[in-house]
């Protein structure tokens, strides 16, 4: 038996002992994080699939992993021979896991899931599906504790303070903003589980989650006090005293459930149903009055202040300078020394580490040459990676966490001589990225509605891509941040409204499975453009500073105004970065920003 076969067999034995007909393992933790601490990597441990998103469902005679199109190629390779069936989300012939369970369970069956890691919205959908089949849903069973012998405990990294001048708004002021929103909801207390919200509110950072400077914890904010629930030993006495001066108490991580259970019936609780788990929800007395609304901090932290944007611009310049050093080395070394996709990761990280304010990567670097670039979330490993040689396209998606901002950039560069079809794809993607960069729109426009602006030139070329065009980006926080998202597949709700100060990625792409991939990504900030009798309008300020490889362009496909935008962008890149580099890096920057 493979390790996956053996582990799923153990899970089935545990299910049998509990009388469970099916068991669901989401890619989640008690904080609904995108990137998970080791303790909650159960879906990965059971299935062998290493992608960041996916849902595993196991019954007595079936095991299936549901993933979206970003991961189909990767999942197919990693699940081969494991007995776990790939279930492709968004195919008309493949029901989602909730619908599948509704169709494949019967009256009297019991579906198990760990409620501590199941989002409240997902719980409600799964409950309805179980009820439709006459089945029951059991949320108190964490079978991973029983079948995973070396399961990690809670992460223990120390929590530290994010201080001025990098922290531009004080903890007291942020708490005051949250409390003002609470009063607007007529709420007395507010429970928060999402780690980036907690880190933002309290001006604290940690290292519990790879790539995201956050820490595992919960928070309960009242109108005149707040409590932070974290594991023992993570906050030292000095920081505890600093927090106390702002009316913040520190309690044990496990005490969060007790605090919810002890709420009085005259206290109205504000919770965000999209950002708490059903385990948390069911810890409190159902008679406690509650208001369900988006976390105020989710909206507040998405709107960067002018001081924060000034710091982000500095971080972008340092990041761009690091990339100049990397690309100048890469072009000189290509053909003269062995370079692999793993080398790319090492060299980019080292270049960033030499820059002031750098803390760590903001996500795992994606370096995909030719066919590997066609997998949007590809990651090279020592066991499977490509050597960079011959002709083609190298896609590099990388980013850094700086004390004054978070970066995320994708560039595709020529290796040898790109062919004509590759140049066409590159140019279509560039046209889409330029179109969105130049967009202006009414303030409050739902962000998903902007997606077609970037896709129109790509659709016109007979191509499409399966991921969204843009995601929000945090301020020395998560590289993926809500509430805005530029994707026509997302619901254009009121909380997706585009507001001044939001930072969003702009990253259209084209992917030819087994051949090559193209994605060009800059980060952009919403800025005021004009106010007229017909309303207030925003535009995008491009924040990212790094040349776009003009060797990959088919010039005949660019209009004059698109060429002008590219030349103006490269002029800005040179002006901003040239004071920060010298020698070969400066010479490379000058070559790659030359006007076309």
Mean pLDDT confidence for 84-92 = 87
Tokens 């896709």: give the residue.
Answer: 455
User: For residue 34, what pLDDT is reported?
Assistant: 87
Q: Give the domains, in start order, of the chain with CATH numbers.
A: 3-147 (3.40.350.10), 160-300 (3.40.350.10), 303-592 (3.90.230.10)
Q: What is the pLDDT of residues 489-524, one digit of tens each?
A: 998 989 999 999 999 999 999 999 999 999 999 999
- Residues 406-453 pLDDT 10s: 999 999 999 999 999 999 999 999 999 999 999 999 999 999 999 999
Q: Token pair for residue 452?
A: 């077609």
Element at 47 (helix H, strand E): helix 42-47
How many helices (H) and strands (E) in the chain?
A: 18, 28
Q: Are 85 and 75 in contact (CB under 8 A)?
A: no
First to last CA, the chain: 59
**Chain centre distance of CA 384:** 24
Q: Prior bond to 139 cis, omega within 30?
A: no
pLDDT value for 280:
83
The string of pLDDT tens digits covering residues 522-537 is: 999 999 999 999 999 9
b/e map 74-89, b = 16+ CB within 10 Å = bbeebbeebebebbbb
Residue 239 has pLDDT above 60, yes or no: yes
Alpha helices in 38-188 (DSSP H): 42-47, 72-79, 97-104, 120-133, 144-147, 171-184
Q: Is 370 left (phi over 0), alpha (psi -120 to 50) or beta?
A: left
Contact in structure between 198 and 229 (CB atoms under 8 Å):
no
> Could you tell me how far CA 108 lies from the centroid of its own chain?
39
Structure tokens at 153: 């405990």
In angstroms, the CA 538 to CA 440 distance is: 6
Assigned token pair, 46: 């059971």
Q: Are 386 and 380 in contact (CB under 8 A)?
A: yes
395 in Cβ contact with 373 (< 8 Å):
yes
Say if residue 191 is preceded by a cis peptide, omega within 30 of 0.
no
Q: What is the pLDDT of residue 454?
A: 98
Whole-number Cα distances in Å, 138 to 81, 115, 199: 31, 8, 32
Say what the pLDDT of residue 51 is: 87
For the packed helices 583-592 and 560-577, what is the interaxial angle rounded to 10 degrees? Answer: 170
Mean pLDDT of the chain: 95
pTM of the model: 0.92
Question: Is residue 383 packed enough to be buried (19+ CB in 10 Å), middle (13-18) or exposed (0-12)?
Answer: exposed
**Please, which pLDDT band fits residue 2 given cuts at 50, 70 and 90?**
low
Mean pLDDT throughout 265-278?
93
- Give the pLDDT confidence score for residue 70 in this predicted structure: 78
Question: 392-398 and 409-415 as β-strands: parallel, antiparallel, unpaired?
Answer: antiparallel
The pLDDT > 90 percentage for the chain reads 90
Confidence of residue 158 (pLDDT cuts 50, 70, 90): very high
Helix (H) or strand (E) holding 57: strand 55-59
């Amino acid at each position: 038996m493979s390790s996956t076969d053996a582990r799923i067999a153990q899970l089935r034995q545990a299910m049998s002992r509990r009388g469970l007909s099916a068991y669901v393992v989401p890619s989640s933790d008690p904080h609904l994080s995108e990137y998970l601490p080791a303790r909650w990597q159960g879906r990965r441990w059971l299935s062998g699939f290493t992608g960041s998103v996916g849902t595993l469902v196991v019954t007595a005679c079936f095991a299936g992993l549901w993933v979206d199109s970003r991961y189909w190629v990767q999942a197919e390779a990693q699940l081969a021979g494991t007995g776990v069936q790939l279930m492709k989300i968004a195919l008309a012939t493949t029901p989602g896991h909730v619908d599948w369970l509704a169709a494949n369970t019967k009256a009297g069956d019991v579906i198990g899931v760990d409620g501590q890691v199941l989002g409240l919205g997902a719980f409600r959908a799964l409950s309805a599906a179980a009820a439709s089949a006459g089945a029951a849903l059991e949320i108190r069973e964490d079978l991973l504790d029983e079948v995973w012998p070396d399961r990690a405990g809670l992460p223990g990294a120390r929590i530290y303070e994010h201080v001025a001048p990098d922290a531009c708004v004080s903890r007291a002021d942020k708490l005051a903003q949250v409390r003002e929103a609470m009063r607007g909801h007529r709420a007395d207390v507010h429970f928060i589980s999402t780690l980036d919200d907690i880190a933002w509110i309290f001006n604290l950072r940690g290292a519990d989650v790879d790539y995201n400077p956050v820490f595992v914890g919960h928070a309960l904010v009242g109108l005149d006090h707040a409590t932070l629930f974290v594991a023992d030993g993570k906050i030292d006495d000095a920081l505890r005293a600093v927090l106390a001066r702002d009316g913040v108490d520190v309690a044990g991580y496990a005490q969060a459930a007790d605090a919810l259970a002890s709420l009085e019936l005259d206290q109205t609780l504000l919770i965000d149903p999209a950002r708490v788990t059903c385990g948390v929800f069911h810890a409190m007395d159902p008679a406690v009055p509650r208001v369900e609304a988006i976390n105020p901090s989710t909206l507040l932290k998405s709107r960067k202040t002018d001081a924060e944007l000034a710091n982000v611009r500095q971080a972008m310049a340092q990041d761009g300078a690091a990339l100049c050093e990397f690309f100048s080395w890469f072009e000189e070394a290509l053909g003269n020394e062995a370079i692999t996709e793993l080398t790319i990761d090492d060299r980019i990280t080292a270049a960033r580490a030499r820059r002031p304010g750098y803390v760590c990567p903001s996500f795992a670097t994606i370096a995909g040459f030719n066919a590997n670039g066609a997998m949007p979330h590809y990651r090279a490993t020592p066991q499977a990676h490509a050597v960079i040689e011959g002709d083609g396209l190298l896609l590099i998606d990388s980013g850094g966490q700086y004390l004054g901002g978070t970066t995320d950039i994708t560039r595709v560069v020529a290796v040898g001589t790109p062919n004509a079809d590759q140049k066409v794809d590159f140019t279509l993607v560039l046209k889409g990225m330029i179109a969105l960069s130049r967009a202006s729109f009414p303030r409050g426009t739902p962000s998903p509605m902007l997606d077609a602006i970037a896709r129109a030139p790509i659709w016109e070329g007979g191509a499409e891509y399966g991921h969204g065009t843009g995601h929000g980006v945090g301020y020395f926080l998560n590289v993926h941040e809500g509430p805005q998202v530029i994707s026509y597949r997302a619901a254009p709700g009121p909380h997706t409204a585009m507001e001044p100060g939001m930072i969003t990625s702009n990253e259209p792409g084209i992917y030819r499975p087994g051949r090559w991939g193209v994605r060009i990504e800059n980060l952009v900030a919403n800025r005021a453009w004009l106010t007229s009798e017909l309303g207030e309008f925003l535009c995008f300020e491009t924040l990212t500073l790094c040349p776009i490889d003009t060797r990959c362009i088919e010039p005949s496909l660019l209009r004059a105004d698109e060429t002008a935008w590219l030349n103006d962008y490269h002029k800005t890149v040179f002006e901003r970065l040239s004071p920060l580099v010298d020698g070969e890096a400066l010479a490379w920057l000058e070559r790659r920003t030359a006007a076309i």
